[in-house]
Amino acid sequence: MNPTALPRRKVRIMTAQRRAIALGSLAILLLLSAATPVHVATRSTASTLPQDRLHFGLANDPSHIGWMTSSGVPWRYRYQYLAGGVNTANPWQNWNSPTGAFASMYMNDSSAAGYIPVFTYYELLQSTPSTGANESDRDYSNLNNASTMNAYYANFKLLMQLAGSFGKTVVVHVEPDFWGYMEQRAAGGDATTVSAMVAGSGFADVAGIPDTVQGFADALLKLRDANAPNALLAIHASAWASGIDIASDTNPAVNAISEADKTAAFLDSAGIASNAFGSTWDLVFNDVDDHDAGWWEAQGSNNQNSTHWWDPTNTLYPNFTRYLSWVAELKAKTARPQVVWQVPVGNQYFLTMNNTCGHYQDNVGAYFISHASDLFNAGLIAVLFGAGNGCQTSYTDVMNDGVTNNNGVPTTDVAGYCSACNTHVSTWADDDGGYLRIFVGLYYNNAISLGGRMLDDPSAASWAAGRLDAFVRGTDNALWHRAWNGTAWAAWESLGGVTNAGPGAVSGTANRIDVFVRGSDNSLWHLTWNGSSWLPWEGLGGHLGSAPSAASSGANRLDVFAMGSDFALWHRWWDGTTWQPWESLGGRLTSGAGSVSWGAGRLDVVVRGADQGVWHRAWNGTSWLPWESLGGIVQGTPGASSCASGALDVFALGADGGLWRKSFSGTAWTPWTAVGGQWAGGPGAVCQPTTTKIDILEKSSDGSLWRLETG
């Protein structure tokens, strides 16, 4: 297939970000520009990258690092193009002064924020003379121009010197698209069959290396070894390189394995399998698209042969199963960790995604986040999000249009498997509606969807490590239950009843659960699991003004709290023999209560007060202590958990719709800190016994139940 007919994954040329440099940094960089390379002691390998799970990163230029650091998401990677051409008027090394300062600052700023810096080194196409009818021809003409390549190797060496001086792990992703074009030029041959100026460039550091694409790869690896053994180099696998684009071809007969084998064989010959002049490539990058699928659709790029929409049900093609098969085969045949880069940011969740400039829909990001384990099992260690071209959806407010919700009207996109599916209201000005900051944040909080449809706030109970029981009020007003046994979630089960508020649940001893609800008569009702069956409902009277909450300070003790019709906190308890009468604990509530016990003789209750802040009251075994304010401005009922005697964790829905946490260590309260997400009610929280693992249950804006896990 002719390269010009292929859907090119174009990259966006990042503009230079100019800024002042502190005098101290300036002095260091001036010395660096004239100094010999600083070598780190040992050669870094891909094992230095986090590989405990799939991790996420962003395209992030210097002007947007504040968004990244304030997002509340523990991003692991931050990437930036280095572009402009090696022999032009505006190369990356001149974006700041002195020469190369831009790259040094980017590495240092990334590291200071806890991110691994990634550079996409995209220089060949934009260098001069760059002659030819298409990008493949232009790359090839520059690759075989001795003067151009002499400047190219000098430019790459400078980057390696700067990386070596940095001394920490940095990833350099070399020339996306180029390797795919060269594979096509090889026409089934390996990288030795395609010409390139290496030794012929006259650049002394690569003397003696053959003038082939294999030699070009070997030369770059040699320059890395000599100047920056701490730098990890990534080669690029294009989904279309074999002549069949597994990312857009609709043909169900396409064999992802065989197409991956062709690309892997070429990349192996280009410095993955061996290098007579140094080390080999550390990583393999790939990309799925350079535009949101909704943008392609608007250009008329959906037909019987090709589409940029992937079927999330993995029935039609292209789809995610085929892509992951391709990735897994690349991993198997190259024996290198895989990274998917420049993943489109569009989603089908928020109303703002109305398929206009800056707000185009896509479903790849959502699938990747929700199927992270599938990606990781296929060999991917990172997903790097970024808008590849102008007019595409961004995670910042690039369009400068603030919070947009399309006048509350969802956007149907039949080609994108979306029938008015983007129904959620956004509170973020981000052009993606805040999707990435919310859902990647949930991923890092070990959040998973438990499905279902619920009214009001959920409740959580745990009677052993590895055990979690979730309770909600269903849309039929009955009590519903779902249980985690340490390995798998059981199916939802209805426990019946007619409720008019969310439940409160507690486990005071192994294999026992007590659940309390406000019935249709507004009185308290009680249901018990005795280890083998659910006992009949029991009425406990009272006139509740909120959902109940329950705590247990011993095997034979139960305490129930609720707001009364007078807006005060009321309490009733089981002493092991009988239910004691209701008592008022005063206060002026605007919510129900969250309650917990950290041990025998101790009870803690939190509520939202008339000032919209959280208030706390505790029983110390002898008496009730005075009410104390924990501050904050919250929505709904707060939740409470305890993992140890003297320790409390309070969770509440903030005014921003996100989850917030405040902790007590036995002597003092911490400030409120953001947990993240966007939720539609107060949380249910519980600490699994004998652990420090807190499980939080939350209701999403679509009424489904989510579980977050934190320590």
- How far is residue 72's CA from residue 675's CA, in Å, rounded to a whole number? 8
Q: pLDDT at residue 36 above 60?
A: no
Cα 297–chain centre separation: 26
Q: Residue 702's pLDDT is what?
A: 77
Tokens of 132: 């030819």
Determine what percent of the chain is predicted with pLDDT higher than 90: 86
Helices (H), 531-622: none
Determine what percent of the chain is predicted with pLDDT higher than 70: 94
Amino acid at 532: S
Q: What residues does 707 pair with on adjacent strands? A: 448, 697
Q: What is the pLDDT of residues 333-366, one digit of tens each?
A: 999 999 999 999 999 999 999 999 999 999 999 9
- How far is residue 119's CA from residue 485's CA, in Å, rounded to a whole number? 44
Average pLDDT over residues 676-703: 91
Angle between helices 256-267 and 178-186 (to 10 degrees): 100
Q: What is the pLDDT of residues 557-607, one digit of tens each?
A: 999 999 999 999 999 999 999 999 999 999 999 999 999 999 999 999 999
Tokens of 329: 């085969």
Please provide residue 23's backbone torsions phi and psi, each rounded to the nearest 5 degrees.
-60, -40
Tokens of 602: 């101790």
Adjacency order of strands within the sheet including 557-563: 549-554, 557-563, 569-574, 583-586
Q: Residue 42's pLDDT is what?
A: 65
Helices (H), 268-413: 293-298, 320-334, 364-370, 372-378
Quote the pTM value: 0.81
Q: What is the pLDDT of residues 447-475, one digit of tens each?
A: 888 989 999 999 999 999 999 999 999 99
Tokens of 590: 């605007």
Domains in the chain, CATH or no CATH each: 52-60+291-444 (no CATH), 83-287 (no CATH), 448-710 (2.120.10.70)
Answer whether 448's CB lies under 8 Å from 707's CB. Answer: yes
- Close Cβ partners of 231 (under 8 Å, ≥ 6 residues apart): 44, 160, 163, 164, 169, 170, 171, 172, 224
Adjacency order of strands within the sheet including 694-699: 448-451, 705-710, 694-699, 684-687
Answer whether 684's CB lies under 8 Å from 482's CB. Answer: no
Cα distance between the two ends of the chain: 53
Helices and strands (DSSP H and E) totals, the chain: 13, 32
